[in-house]
């Protein structure tokens, strides 16, 4: 899945209310194929329990949590997208 498509899917997940905050560092995301847990580790990095993240180290669920958090802080979506594109760690 390309970054652009992943980003679109992530926005859809947030818009449809499929990101649920469980506690400070843990979220549940209702994906198309199941419910996944996205958690933040001690280094502040998000990770996900889905197969895509295990194999590729990235997935739309993690992006959805980033968007969800940013929207909670009333940031513009554009800022999130730019941050995502500029992460450069993949």
Binding stretches for Zn ion (CB under 5 A): 36, 48, 50, 53, 59, 61
Of 4 and 76, which has the nearer Cβ to Zn ion?
4
Q: What angle do CA 43, 85, 26 make, to 5 degrees?
A: 35
Shortest separation between residue 16's beta carbon and Zn ion, angstroms? 16
The sign of the torsion formed by the CA atoms of 3, 68, 35, 39 equals positive
- Nearer residue to Zn ion within complex by CB, 61 or 80: 61
- Cβ proximity to Zn ion, 78 vs 89, nearer residue: 89
């Amino acid at each position: 899945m390309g970054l652009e498509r992943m980003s679109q899917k992530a926005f859809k997940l947030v818009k449809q209310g499929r990101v649920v905050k469980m506690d400070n560092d843990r979220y549940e995301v209702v994906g198309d194929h199941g419910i996944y847990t996205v958690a933040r580790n001690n280094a502040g990095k998000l990770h996900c329990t889905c197969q895509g993240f295990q194999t590729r180290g990235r997935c739309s669920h993690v992006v959805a949590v980033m968007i969800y958090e940013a929207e909670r802080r009333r940031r513009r979506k554009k800022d999130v997208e730019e941050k995502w594109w500029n992460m450069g760690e993949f």
